[in-house]
C-alpha cells in the first residue's frame, strides 16, 4: 500500500473550504510564505499581512450584523409597534446581507457545476426562513456560520504564524566581508562562496561553512532542541541557527532561496495539499451525502401532503429548513483538514517534517520499523575505544601511530588523530606509504611502523595473537621495527537516546524492529543485542536492503524505513513511510523521504508515530461528535421538536468544538 510518490507538483494551500476564499479553497493567509523565490517570498509576506488585515476588517460587518440581529430580537420581544412589515424586513435583511452575500454568491456560481455543497444548503435554508417570515432565525443561521468561519480562519492563522515565527524569522540583511571591511547587504544578494560575518546573538541568514575556530549555536528553530550545538571550523552552519558565543565568519554554501530553511518552509506549506485517507473519505462522503439530505428535505416538505390531514406547507417547510441546516457538513469540512494541519504544525515544532497529512495517517499503521545503523542508531563518528600496547611508553605509541595516520583522510585515521590530540606533531615522520587494502607503512623518529589490519602484518611476516581477529570492533594492529607492538580498537558509539527510542516504539505498538547496515555483521549484531532489536543484518549493499524490505512487505507488514536519505534512497522510496534522519543539508533526504527528522535523535521516530496517532484520534473524535449530534437533531427536526435555533447551535456549536479540539493538537507535548 505504498503512498503515491507522484502527488501533484503544483501544490495548493491548506484546503479548508470557505465562502470568502472559495476561488482558492482555504484561508490563503501566508500561502506564499515559503516560496523559494526571493521576490515571490517578499510578495507572499505582503500578501500574508494584507490577508490578515482583510480578515480583521471582515469582523466589522459581522459585528454590525450581530448588533442588528440582537436589536431586532429585542424589538420583537418588546412587541414594538413600528417594528413591523418592511421596517422589520429591512433591518433583518441588512443583517443578513452583511454576513451572507458571499455564501449566496458562491452558491449561485456553483450551480454551473455541482451545486450540492454547504453553501447551497445554507442559502436554501436561510432564504427559506425569510420566505416563511422567520427573519431572525434566517439571519442567525448565516451569522453563526460566518462566526464559525472566523474561528476557522483564526485557528489557521495562528498555526501558520506559530510555524513561521518558529522557523522563518531569519534576518533579511547580512554583513558581507569585503576587502574594505564588512558591508551590510541584502541576504538574497549574497553569492555562493562569499564570506559573511555573524555577530554574537544574531540569527544566521544563510547556510555556510564555519571559517572561525568554533562557536555555539541555538538550533531550536531547525531541530526543536534547545541544547546549544558547538560547531568547529569546517563544519556546516545552517540558516535559522542563532550564534551564541562570538563574532564568526561563514563561507556561504547555498543561496538564500536554496538554504535548508527555505526547503523546510516550502515543505510545511506543501504538506497541507496532500490529503490523508480520512480527509479524502469525508470529501467523497460529502459529495454523496449533500444531495441525499437535500432531496430528503424536499421530500419532508411535500410528501406529508399525501398523508397528513391538517397539512400546513409552512410548518413542513420549516422542518425541512431545520433539516437542511443540520445536514450542513461544516464541522467536518473545517475541522478535519485543520486537525491534520495542527498535527503537521506540532510535528514541525518537534523537529519533524511531514510532507503531507497522508503520512500522518500512515504512521499510525506502521507495525515494522527498519533502521539503518550508522547515523541513525549510532552517532556515525568513529572514536577510539581501547589502546593496548606491549611498549612501556604508551603515550609515544599512541602519538606515533597518530603521526602516521595524519597523512590519511580515512575516518579511522581521523579518529586516531583526534584521540592523540596535538602530541603527534612532535614526531619526525618520513617515507609514509599507503598499501591499498592493508594500511600504512612509514618511519617515525627513525623507527619503522606498520599500522593497519591483520593482512598488513602478515604481509611483512609479523606474528601476532590470532585471537585478536575475534574482536568485534574495528581494530588497527601496530608493529614497530618488525615486531608486534599493540592494537587500537575503534567503534561507532550508540546514540544516547537509542534505547529510549526502542522502548517508546514498542510502547506505541510497533511489533518488529529491524536494523539493516552495510557495516560488518559482527558489529551490527552487537548493537542489535545492546538495543534488544528483533532482527539485524550487516554487510548489506543498497540492493540487499531493498530485498529485505520487500520481503517484510510481502509478509503484509506496513514498513517505515529510517536512513540518511542518500545511500538509502532506494529503500526509503520503497518503504510505506520513508524517513530521513538528520537530512537537513541533504537534497536526497528532502526529495526522497516522506518524513524528515531534523535532529539526529532516533527517539523522534516514536514522536512521529505518537503525533500521527494523536492527530488521527482528534480527527475521529470530531467526526464522531459531528455525526452523533447531527443525527439526533435531524431526527428531532424532522419530528418538529427542534427549531432553527437548535439547528444553528447544534451545527455551529459542533463546528466550534471541533475547531477547538483540532487546535488542541498544537498544545500537546509528545516527548
For the cut 80, the answer to whether the pLDDT of residue 22 exceeds it is no
481: Cα separation from own chain's centroid: 58
Cell of 156: 489557521
For the cut 70, the answer to whether the pLDDT of residue 221 exceeds it is no
Confidence class of residue 337 from pLDDT cuts 50, 70 and 90? confident
Q: Exposure of 518 by Cβ count < 10 A (0-12 exposed, 13-18 middle, 19+ buried)?
A: middle
Instruction: Give the neighbor-by-neighbor strand order of the sheet with 595-597.
Output: 352-354, 595-597, 577-581, 559-563, 368-372, 512-516, 535-537
pLDDT in tens, 190-217: 999 999 999 888 888 888 999 998 888 8
DSSP state string for 18-84: -GGGTTSSS--TTTTTT-SSHHHHHHHHHHHHHHHHHHHHTHHHHHHHHHHHHHHHHHHHTT-TTSS
**Can you tell me the distance from the alpha carbon of 282 to that of 291, in angstroms, rounded to the nearest whole number?**
14
**Can you tell me the distance from the alpha carbon of 260 to that of 580, in angstroms, rounded to the nearest whole number?**
14
**Can you tell me the distance from the alpha carbon of 642 to that of 131, in angstroms, rounded to the nearest whole number?**
19
Q: What is the mean pLDDT of residues 384-401?
A: 91
What are the C-alpha distances in Å from 253 to residues 35, 237, 400?
20, 10, 36
Which member of 229, 372, 519, 594 is catalytic? 372
Q: What is the mean pLDDT of residues 490-507?
A: 90
Q: What is the mean pLDDT of residues 265-285?
A: 55
Q: What is the pLDDT of residue 331?
A: 61
For the cut 90, the answer to whether the pLDDT of residue 319 exceeds it is no
**Contact residues for 403 (Cβ-Cβ < 8 A; gap 6+):** 424, 425, 427, 429, 444
pLDDT in tens, 521-549: 888 898 999 999 999 998 777 778 888 99
Percent pLDDT > 70 in the chain is 77
Q: Which pTM value belongs to this model?
A: 0.64
**Contact residues for 159 (Cβ-Cβ < 8 A; gap 6+):** 338, 341, 342, 345, 663, 666
Instruction: Give the count of alpha carbons within 13 A of 58, CB side only.
Output: 21
Q: What is the mean pLDDT of residues 53-74?
A: 82
**Can you tell me the distance from the alpha carbon of 443 to that of 545, in angstroms, rounded to the nearest whole number?**
43
Most confident of 105-109, 112-116, 340-344, 511-515: 511-515
538 DSSP assignment: -
What is the CA angle 488-490-493, rounded to 5?
Answer: 150
3-state DSSP call for residue 218?
strand
H or E element, residue 452: strand 447-452
More confident of the two residues 237 and 474: 237
Cell of 286: 460529502
pLDDT in tens, 404-417: 988 887 778 888 99
Query: Residue 628 CB: number of other CB atoms within 10 A?
Result: 11
* 248-274 b/e (C-beta count within 10 Å ≥ 16 → b): bbbbbbbbbbebbbbbbbbbbbbbbbb
**Can you tell me the distance from the alpha carbon of 547 to that of 425, in angstroms, rounded to the nearest whole number?**
48
Pairing of strands 195-198, 595-597: unpaired
Percent pLDDT > 90 in the chain is 23
445 is catalytic: no
SS (HEC) of 294-308: HHHHHHHHHHHHHCC
Using CA atoms in the order 553, 555, 559, 562, what is the torsion angle rounded to 10 degrees? -80
The closest of 326, 295, 280, 290 to 117, measured between CA atoms, is: 290
SS (HEC) of 371-399: EECECCCEEEEEEEEEEEECCCCHHHHHH
pLDDT in tens, 585-623: 455 555 677 888 877 789 999 999 999 999 989 888 888
What are the C-alpha distances in Å from 654 to residues 151, 329, 646?
12, 10, 12
With cell 499503521, the residue in question is: 365
Mean predicted lDDT score pLDDT of the chain: 78
**Can you tell me the distance from the alpha carbon of 150 to that of 143, in angstroms, rounded to the nearest whole number?**
11
Amino acid at each position: 500500500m505504498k503512498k503515491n510518490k507522484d502527488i501533484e507538483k503544483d501544490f495548493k494551500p491548506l484546503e479548508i473550504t470557505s465562502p470568502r476564499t472559495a476561488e482558492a479553497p482555504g484561508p490563503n493567509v501566508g500561502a506564499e510564505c515559503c516560496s523559494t523565490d526571493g521576490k515571490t517570498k517578499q510578495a507572499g509576506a505582503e500578501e500574508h499581512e494584507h490577508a490578515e488585515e482583510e480578515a480583521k476588517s471582515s469582523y466589522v460587518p459581522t459585528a454590525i450584523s450581530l448588533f442588528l440581529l440582537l436589536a431586532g430580537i429585542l424589538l420583537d420581544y418588546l412587541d414594538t409597534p413600528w417594528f413591523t412589515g418592511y421596517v422589520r424586513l429591512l433591518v433583518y435583511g441588512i443583517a443578513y446581507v452583511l454576513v451572507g452575500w458571499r455564501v449566496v454568491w458562491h452558491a449561485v456560481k456553483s450551480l454551473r457545476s455541482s451545486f450540492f455543497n454547504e453553501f447551497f444548503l445554507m442559502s436554501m435554508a436561510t432564504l427559506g426562513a425569510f420566505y416563511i417570515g422567520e427573519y431572525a432565525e434566517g439571519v442567525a443561521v448565516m451569522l453563526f456560520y460566518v462566526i464559525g468561519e472566523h474561528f476557522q480562519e483564526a485557528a489557521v492563522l495562528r498555526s501558520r504564524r506559530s510555524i513561521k515565527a518558529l522557523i522563518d524569522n531569519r534576518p533579511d540583511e547580512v554583513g558581507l566581508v569585503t576587502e574594505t571591511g564588512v558591508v551590510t547587504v541584502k541576504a538574497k544578494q549574497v553569492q555562493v562562496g562569499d564570506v559573511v560575518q555573524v555577530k554574537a546573538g544574531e540569527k544566521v541568514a544563510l547556510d555556510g561553512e564555519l571559517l572561525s575556530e568554533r562557536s555555539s549555536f541555538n538550533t531550536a528553530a531547525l531541530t526543536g532542541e534547545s541544547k546549544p550545538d558547538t560547531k568547529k571550523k569546517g563544519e556546516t552552519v545552517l540558516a535559522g541557527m542563532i550564534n551564541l558565543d562570538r563574532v564568526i565568519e561563514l563561507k556561504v554554501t547555498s543561496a538564500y532561496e536554496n538554504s535548508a530553511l527555505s526547503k523546510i518552509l516550502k515543505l510545511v506549506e506543501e504538506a497541507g495539499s496532500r490529503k490523508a485517507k480520512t480527509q479524502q473519505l469525508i470529501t467523497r462522503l460529502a459529495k454523496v451525502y449533500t444531495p441525499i439530505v437535500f432531496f430528503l428535505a424536499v421530500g419532508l416538505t411535500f410528501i406529508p401532503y399525501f398523508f397528513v390531514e391538517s397539512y400546513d406547507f409552512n410548518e413542513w417547510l420549516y422542518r425541512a429548513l431545520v433539516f437542511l441546516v443540520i445536514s450542513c457538513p461544516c464541522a467536518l469540512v473545517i475541522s478535519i483538514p485543520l486537525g491534520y494541519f495542527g498535527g503537521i504544525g506540532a510535528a514541525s515544532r518537534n523537529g519533524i517534517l511531514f510532507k503531507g497529512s497522508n503520512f500522518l495517517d500512515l504512521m499510525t499503521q506502521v507495525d515494522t520499523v527498519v533502521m539503518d545503523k550508522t547515523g541513525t542508531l549510532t552517532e556515525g563518528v568513529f572514536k577510539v575505544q581501547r589502546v593496548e600496547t606491549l611498549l612501556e611508553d604508551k603515550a609515544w605509541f599512541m602519538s606515533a601511530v597518530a603521526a602516521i595516520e595524519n597523512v590519511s583522510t580515512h575516518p579511522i585515521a581521523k579518529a586516531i588523530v583526534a584521540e592523540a590530540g596535538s602530541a603527534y606533531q612532535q614526531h619526525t615522520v618520513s617515507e609514509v606509504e599507503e598499501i591499498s587494502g592493508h594500511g600504512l607503512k612509514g618511519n617515525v623518529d627513525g623507527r619503522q611502523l606498520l599500522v593497519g589490519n591483520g593482512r598488513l602484518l602478515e604481509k611483512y611476516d609479523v606474528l601476532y595473537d590470532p585471537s585478536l581477529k575475534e574482536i568485534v570492533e574495528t581494530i588497527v594492529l601496530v608493529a614497530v621495527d618488525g615486531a608486534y607492538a599493540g592494537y587500537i580498537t575503534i567503534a561507532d558509539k550508540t546514540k544516547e537516546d537509542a534505547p529510549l527510542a526502542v522502548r517508546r516504539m514498542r510502547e506505541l505498538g510497533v511489533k518488529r524492529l529491524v536494523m539493516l547496515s552495510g557495516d560488518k555483521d559482527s558489529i551490527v549484531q552487537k548493537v542489535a543485542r545492546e538495543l534488544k532489536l528483533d532482527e539485524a543484518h550487516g554487510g548489506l549493499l543498497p540492493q540487499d536492503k531493498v530485498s529485505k524490505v520487500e520481503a517484510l512487505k510481502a509478509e503484509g507488514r506496513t514498513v517505515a524505513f529510517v536512513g540518511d536519505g542518500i545511500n538509502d534512497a532506494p529503500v526509503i522510496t520503497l518503504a510505506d513511510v520513508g524517513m530521513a534522519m538528520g537530512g537537513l543539508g541533504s537534497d536526497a533526504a528532502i526529495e526522497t523521504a516522506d518524513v524528515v527528522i531534523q535532529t539526529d535523535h532516533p527517539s523522534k521516530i516514536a514522536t512521529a508515530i505518537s503525533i500521527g496517532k494523536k492527530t488521527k484520534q482528534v480527527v475521529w473524535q470530531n467526526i464522531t461528535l459531528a455525526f452523533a449530534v447531527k443525527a439526533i437533531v435531524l431526527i428531532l427536526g424532522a419530528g418538529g421538536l427542534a427549531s432553527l435555533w437548535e439547528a444553528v447551535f447544534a451545527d455551529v456549536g459542533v463546528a466550534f468544538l471541533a475547531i477547538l479540539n483540532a487546535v488542541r493538537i498544537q498544545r500537546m507535548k509528545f516527548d
